[in-house]
Amino acid sequence: MTELSEALFARARKVMPGGVSSPVRAFGAVGGTPRFVARASGARIEDVNGRSYVDLVGGWGPAILGHAHPAVVAAIQQAASDSPSFGAPSVPELELAEEIVTRVPILDRVRFTSSGTEAVLTAARLARAATDRSLIVKFAGCYHGHADAFLVAAGSGALTLGIPDSAGVLGVVAANTVVLPYGRLDLVAELFGTRGAAIAAVVTEAVPANMGVIIPPDGFNRALATLCRTHGAVFVLDEVLTGFRVGPAGRWGLEGRDWAPDLITYGKVIGGGLPLAALVGRAELMDLLAPAGPVYQAGTLSGNPAASAAGLMTLRLLDDDAYATLDANAAAVASMTSDALSAAGVPHRVNAAGNLFSVFFTDAPVCDLESARSQDTTAFARFFHAMLDGGVWLPPSAFEAWFVSTALTDEGLSRIDVALRRAAPAAAQGAVT
């Protein structure tokens, strides 16, 4: 039953471009009408028709403890009743900054923003100011938010200048970004060899998860940090998605703690469901930011007390037990999905990096954007709709990670299992096997 969502979506399209505030929500990749959500609690999300689903999106990351965790809600309520925004320094942002540098002690300073986009674009500005160089190096398929410098696709050759990946991005801006295939350390080294004196920063997702999940080659992030150091460039590790989800110190903490990116970006989890992100880095770099230094950056709502309180409570509840639960829940969902797809003869591949995973509808290895694109997105669309009909809320695109929370119960897992029994054969329909 979707009539109410259809009516609301028709209304929304009249006053909002495409009917949504962020593109993936519109179901463009899978077809059909997005469900309007009324409420969510734990691992359960409920649409406006009162139908409930087991949620494997988690608000795209923030609902790591499940939706509306009572302690997080109480923290928000307290902060809201003290006024949700002062536009002045407050204790919650200070305590959240201290919590972050306690978890990641290689870094000294935190600048809060309201979105991951702002955190990464500030990293780029800071890197350019610190190095007096222009080029940003990124990897194809890695998402860093929607700042112009990152909405760039690879040019004709691997080492050539980038081209705009969105209307409205100037060629001259895109030409200051170089896009390399993910994982190709040899090409990064070659680029430093030819254009090293112009490279301000190398930016990568700590684990690429916005083209589906790609497992970083062993030592890749660390090797990028070393190359940057050697050539005087800034290494930016984007942990907006992985930060404090994959482990207590993010992906950085899972790769040995004896290496240091220059800057790390966080978002999603650190706001506990409210708009909050952060740029974190070494003091020498971060103190170039205004008002300490000459690089301008600001935000009316930055570090606002309600979002900071929600994020702080979320991080305080993310202890070793919580990470063990997340890991177990992710492993359970990944293996039951893979078993069901195998039983139905659906070619697929699960990529998992700790508790971060996604399912690709192909049997070829997926290690970069090109191989990710080889999957059968129409099989995914059939699977997605059958899962939705069966009461499971998946990301509405084959190129997204699946997000578990600590709130997923055995009952939720068995609902997923039941839904898979119909959805896996639906995915197989029409497939050439």
Q: In the numeric block, which tokens belong to residue 380?
A: 């995914």
User: Which residue's structure tokens are 């860093």?
Assistant: 144
**Amino acid occupying residue 330:** A
Catalytic annotation, pick one of 47, 53, 148, 268: 268
The tally of CA atoms less than 13 A away on the side-chain side of residue 353 is 24
User: Which residue's structure tokens are 């979506």?
Assistant: 9
Which residue is nearest to ligand PLP, using beta carbons?
116
Min dist CB 180 to ligand PLP, Å, is 17
Nearer to ligand PLP, 115 or 131 (CB): 115
**Which range in 31-39, 234-242, 326-334, 362-370 contacts ligand PLP by CB under 6 A?**
234-242
Task: Strands of 160-248 (E only): list them.
Answer: 163-164, 177-180, 199-205, 234-239
Chain centroid to CA 408: how far? 20
SS3 289: strand
Number of residues that bind ligand PLP (CB under 6 A): 14
- List phi, psi (to 5°) of 190: -65, -40
Q: In the numeric block, which tokens belong to residue 355?
A: 């508790």
410 catalytic? Reply is no
CA dihedral over 319, 271, 60, 68, signed as positive or negative:
positive
**Is 238 one of the binding residues for ligand PLP (CB under 6 A)?**
yes
Min dist CB 144 to ligand PLP, Å, is 5
Instruction: Check: CB of residue 380 under 8 Å from CB of residue 404.
Output: no
Catalytic annotation, pick one of 47, 55, 148, 238: 238
Alpha-carbon distances, residue 252 vs 47, 110, 134, 260, 271 (angstroms): 37, 16, 26, 8, 19
**Which range in 235-243, 247-255, 305-313, 384-392 contacts ligand PLP by CB under 6 A?**
235-243
Q: Give the Cα separation of 51 and 408 in Å (integer).
A: 18
**Is 400 one of the binding residues for ligand PLP (CB under 6 A)?**
no
Contact track, ligand PLP, 69-108, x by CB under 6 A: ----------------------------------------
Q: Output DSSP code: residue 342.
A: H
Min dist CB 116 to ligand PLP, Å, is 2
Nearer to ligand PLP, 240 or 398 (CB): 240
Instruction: Check: CB of residue 312 under 8 Å from CB of residue 112.
Output: no
**Which range in 110-118, 177-185, 251-259, 367-375 contacts ligand PLP by CB under 6 A?**
110-118
Site for ligand PLP in 130-159 (CB under 6 A): 143-145
238 catalytic? Reply is yes
**Is 203 one of the binding residues for ligand PLP (CB under 6 A)?**
no
> Percent helix, strand and coil across the chain, each rounded to 5?
40, 15, 40
Task: Strands of 114-262 (E only): list them.
Answer: 135-139, 152-153, 163-164, 177-180, 199-205, 234-239
Nearer to ligand PLP, 188 or 277 (CB): 277
Min dist CB 402 to ligand PLP, Å, is 14
**Which of 46, 148, 205, 255 forms a contact with ligand PLP (CB under 6 A)?**
205
Instruction: Check: CB of residue 41 under 8 Å from CB of residue 409.
Output: no
**Which range in 43-51, 76-84, 95-103, 112-120 contacts ligand PLP by CB under 6 A?**
112-120
Cα Rg of the chain (Å, integer): 21
14 catalytic? Reply is no
Nearer to ligand PLP, 117 or 122 (CB): 117
Nearer to ligand PLP, 278 or 326 (CB): 278
Burial grade of 331 (CB within 10 A; 0-12, 13-18, 19 or more): middle
Q: In the numeric block, which tokens belong to residue 396?
A: 């509405």
**Which of 90, 122, 177, 210 forms a contact with ligand PLP (CB under 6 A)?**
210
**Is 263 one of the binding residues for ligand PLP (CB under 6 A)?**
no
**To the nearest 10°, the Cα dihedral for 386, 8, 310, 90?**
150
User: Which residue's structure tokens are 């004196």?
Assistant: 197
**Is 362 one of the binding residues for ligand PLP (CB under 6 A)?**
no
**Is 277 one of the binding residues for ligand PLP (CB under 6 A)?**
yes
Min dist CB 241 to ligand PLP, Å, is 3
Min dist CB 85 to ligand PLP, Å, is 18
**Which of 72, 240, 269, 416 forms a contact with ligand PLP (CB under 6 A)?**
240
**Which of 5, 90, 115, 375 forms a contact with ligand PLP (CB under 6 A)?**
115
Nearer to ligand PLP, 54 or 401 (CB): 401
Active site residues: 143, 238, 268
Q: Which residues bind ligand PLP (CB under 6 A)?
A: 115-117, 120, 143-145, 205, 210, 238, 240-241, 267, 277
